[in-house]
Chains A and B, each alone.
Chain A
Amino acid sequence: MLSRVADSLYWMSRYLERAENTVRQLDVTMSLMLDTGGASAETRWQKLLAALGKPAGMEWNGDFESMARKLVFDNLSPASVTFCVNGARENARQAREEISTEQWQRLNRLFHHMHSPGVQAQFDSSINDLLAAVIDGIHLFKGVSDTTMIHGQGWQFIRLGRYLERAYATATMLEVYQPDLFKQEKESTGYQYLELVGLLRCCTSFEAYCQVYTADVVPDRIIEFLLLNRDFPHAIRYCVDGIRGAIDSIQHTGGRRAPDELTAGIGRLHAMLGYTTISEILNGDTAAFLHNIREQCLRIHELIYRYYVHYSIQSALAV
């Protein structure tokens, strides 16, 4: 497929994943604030920002609601949900002939919802409804993507974008929240429990976690689950498997072998997650381990670009 179109599909997918992540983290943060015993609004905001990768222009102004409004609607900030939805749609437009009409209409509806006159009122009356509507829109889009699009290279680039964005975002979030997880309170007040569940809910993983470990929510297992589970789609290890699978399919359908650098880069991250035990991670420098995952994601992104999108003409003619 055209490199430019592959690039657009990849970013369409990343933007939607980013929007979904932002919405979910905002939703969880706001619900945690309902229990007044926890941290102050400002602390929560700073944590949230850090977990979203410290976007610029979102400095605390003393009022959580107005900050939340900014995070949802501020068109000019690359961190806002609206910005991400716009970005996804703009990229979908660039790849319009590659995606199905159903996908396009779904995304278009989400876009028009975010820009409809009633959306501000919805924010005021029930922000939860609005956030749920956005998540619904994104889920529907993913659903029609899987059922109406041919599972060829384009679809693989969508997967690639989704998993890379998700692995990176989850690593960032864990890096920010993991020091707090181990601050044991003297006696259980229930707040700590809420915080731990909140972290799981940021990745829609509370129920999945319970299925694996029962409702016995403890920090070690949360980190193990979100990092190393191979069957849960929001766990980083699962995402890296997804990245590897997508690249394999892309080179398989395209009939061109991925360069050693890229295969090695993905293989290294894959091996790191497959051959490290949770006790090694927790007894070592956990933050550095998570940071390392992020660095490797960035490197993989660069290699994908260098090989599939911005390759030089000379190298391509030589083949």
Chain B
Amino acid sequence: MSAGHSVELEAIFGDYPLDQAFDEMREADGNVRPQYRALAETLASLPADELQRRKQSADLSFLTQGITFTVYGRDEGTERIFPYDLLPRLITAPEWDHIERGLTQRITALNLFLRDVYSDAKILADRVIPRELVYSCKHYRRQMRGLQVPRNVYIAVVGSDLLRLNTGEFVVLEDNLRVPSGVSYMLTNRRVMKRTFPQLFQSYGVRPIEHYAQLLLATLRSLAPEGRPEPNIVLLTPGVFNSAYFEHTYLARQMGIDLVEGRDLVTHDNMVYMRTTDGLKRVDVIYRRVDDDFSDPLVFRGDSALGCAGLFNAYRAGNVTVTNAFGTGLADDKAVYAYVPRMIRYYLNEDPILPNVETYLLSEDKARLHVLANLDKLVVKAVGESGGYGMLIGPHSTARQREEFARQIEAHPRNYIAQPTLDFSRAPCLIGSRLEPRHVDLRPYVLFGDKVNIVPGGLTRVALERGSLVVNSSQGGGSKDTWVLE
């Protein structure tokens, strides 16, 4: 058995390297982890070009479904499919249970934090979080002060990014509380995978995720204004030029709601209406996929044409629910992030189930000196950015980049944080015709209406370039289907 087994492994892994980073599929001694054995056997049993063939057929399916993004720069936009990897990432039932409990706890605390900061601000009065940290955050919206939010839910849709360290432990890298995207890739990946590996899928007993859209709709409905039993729910998109437009159309269609743009909406007497062929129709709930800044030119950025003038006042009057609420970016600020464990203890009186990544706040003198002396070993991030922008990865940086960041940090210490360069886990990916390890993270999608709902799994994002630590799709990342086992 063992001889035959290793021959098979030889055939599929070749010179697949293992080092101190956690490998999702293999243990340190090279053996395949128990949950991955069926997958390894399937791979070993397939003829050499069969995987390639399946990959091509899956690619074609993504192309005809129009799951593409446009590469600009030529006279006509070239469309590419979003890169994805054919091999699933597996998560066992106990691992998922831990993640689910951890995220539920964390999101509950973050929501309490937002409610507190925008009303009584007790946590600031009790000096658990420094006042200046909150009030200097560029996503803090003073317009939200004292505003009653339906059911006190600020963050109905969340996508938190988790990493797995070399101890095998999951940690939270960041919380996306504004307009997290990628859930459509989770859903379409699953559909393609079911077609690509039907028997394997069946034999694994994978927990379903397909009801996400239904849960999202129920969440949105539960947040409708009082007295609107049949709420008109819409999804507000910035339009076809947005890179997540595919996702907006996908979700609108799956939920059976209208996909509106700012230009479809008008406000009158603090009510929001949409222009239909039958005249104006009142809108009750807006699932907003437009950033705060662009949502209402009367309150936020005046030069934005993407939003709807008067939306915020209608929201304030309680005539329309907008979710996620405005100003939630405060709680995913990367400096505020460092205080999330303290929030959990403060509001829930519990120990955090999912730990944070160690974070240096550069506004603290001691931390800043340490970071400046060790820029080549650390990752520095701008606090208000997302999508992998405004980031310095010390070990992969040039001296000039480090000087530039050092200067920026000295000038605006509040705008940056630093974290150790994490050796997070890797999973095997099909690169050409070989398996090679690539770094992966995990973004589960959390819904918060009547209660917290997390579909089992999420989007496993892959840094497709060898050795790269950046998984964002805007920076050359791809994705994998994530199978949570029964």
Q: List A residues at the B interface (Cβ < 8 Å).
A: 1-6, 75, 90, 93-94, 96-97, 101, 104-105, 108-109, 112, 153, 157, 250, 254-256, 308-309, 311, 313, 316-317, 319
Contact = CB atoms under 8 A, between A and B. Distances in A.
Contact of A2 (B63, B64, B66, B275): B275
Given A4-B261, A4-B275, A97-B258, A313 B280 contact: yes
Contacts of A96: 66, 249, 253, 259
Contacts of B264: 2-4
A316 B279 contact: yes
A251 B312 CA distance: 33
B366 interface: no
Given A101-B65, A105-B64, A308-B277, A94 B240 contact: yes
Contact of A317 (B257, B258, B268): B268
B64 A109 contact: yes
A256 B279 contact: yes
Among all A-B residue pairs, the 9 with the closest Cβ atoms? A96-B249, A254-B278, A97-B252, A97-B253, A97-B259, A3-B275, A308-B277, A316-B279, A316-B280
13 contacts: A2-B264, A3-B264, A3-B277, A4-B263, A5-B259, A94-B240, A97-B252, A97-B258, A105-B64, A105-B66, A153-B277, A255-B278, A317-B280
Interface string B253-278: 10001111101101010000011111
A311 B264 CA distance: 12
Contacts, number: 73
Nearest to A319: B279
Contacts of A1: 258, 276-277
A65 to B, nearest CB: 23
A85 B114 CA distance: 48
Contacts of A101: 65, 253
Nearest to B248: A97
A44 to B, nearest CB: 31
B365 interface: no
A309 B263 CA distance: 12
A83 B277 CA distance: 28
Nearest to B63: A112
B126 interface: no
Nearest to A253: B278
- What secondary structure prevails in chain B residues at the interface with A? mixed
Nearest to A106: B64
Nearest to B278: A254
A181 to B, nearest CB: 41
Contacts of A90: 240
A153 B277 CA distance: 9
A232 B63 CA distance: 37
Nearest to B274: A2
Contact of B276 (A2, A108, A112): A2
B248 to A, nearest CB: 8
Given A3-B275, A105-B65, A97 B249 contact: yes
Interface in B56-94: 63-66, 76
Given A93-B240, A96-B259, A317-B280, 5 more contacts: A2-B277, A96-B253, A311-B279, A313-B280, A319-B279
Contact of B76 (A75, A112, A250): A75
A289 to B, nearest CB: 32
A179 B258 CA distance: 50
A260 to B, nearest CB: 17
A216 B249 CA distance: 53
Nearest to A3: B275
Contacts of B63: 108, 112
A16 B15 CA distance: 53
Interface string B24-59: 000000000000000000000000000000000000
Interface string B358-371: 00000000000000
Contacts of B277: 1-3, 6, 153, 157, 250, 254, 308-309
Contact of B266 (A104, A255, A313): A313
B283 to A, nearest CB: 11
Contacts of A6: 277
Contacts of B280: 313, 316-317
Nearest to A317: B268
Contacts of B274: 2
A104 B278 contact: no
B76 A3 contact: no
Contacts of B263: 4
Contacts of A105: 64-66
B268 A313 contact: yes
Interface string B333-360: 0000000000000000000000000000
Interface string B226-262: 0000000000000010000100010011000111110
B64 A108 contact: yes
Contacts of B268: 313, 317
Contacts of A112: 63-64
Nearest to B259: A97
Contacts of A75: 76
A3 B253 CA distance: 17
Nearest to B275: A3
A104 B245 CA distance: 15
Given A93-B240, A97-B249, A105-B64, A2 B258 contact: yes
Contacts of A250: 277
Nearest to B268: A317
A112 B275 CA distance: 33
